[in-house]
Amino acid sequence: MSQEVIRISTPISDQERMSLRVGDIVLISGIIYTGRDAAHKLMVQALNNGEKLPFELNHQAIYYVGPTPAKPGQIIGSCGPTSSYRMDPYSPLLMANGLKVMIGKGPRSKAFQAQLVKNQAVYLDVTGGIGALLSKRVLKMEVIAYPWLESEAVHKLQVVDFPAIVAYDTCGNDIFNQ
């Protein structure tokens, strides 16, 4: 298992994504989008209805988070990851439509892992309990879809050196079983 630190920027190229291996520590800079299960359900419904999604999935990353409200003078409140398994039912269709980088917390189902390999996608794990620290990596935030979901709306975040670890890579390696 690697302990290499890799700086990546969004949009993430295919070559960059394919080179990531389980255990790599990544520092992400650029734009990432947020989405939890309620937003994922709406995006899957949109795809099933032939509707346009709120952002282009190709070469982008979704972070499973529902940020807390920002205090005065802050860009974002605490933004720690949520348990990712709740997105498992929605992820295959999103991956088939271009989503290749997902960021969250905790292990995923075997079915999800199989879809990662099939779609040559990666899952990055973020340490839970450090949401206040992670908020310092967010330079800008705006709601871009489903505002009625409040903290679970889709947000566009501009981040710098946002830390994560490759938990599942495109080759089917699994950090949780090592």
How far is CA 177 from each of CA 55, 121, 132, 173, rounded to the nearest angstrom?
Answer: 33, 18, 29, 9
Separation between Cα atoms, residue 133 and residue 31, nearest integer Å:
18
59 is known as an active-site residue:
no
**Going by DSSP bridges, is the β-strand pair 25-34/5-9 parallel, antiparallel, or unpaired?**
parallel
3-class DSSP state for residue 18? helix
Residue of 40, 105, 137, 155 with catalytic role = 40
Separation between Cα atoms, residue 113 and residue 91, nearest integer Å:
10
Catalytic residue ranges: 40
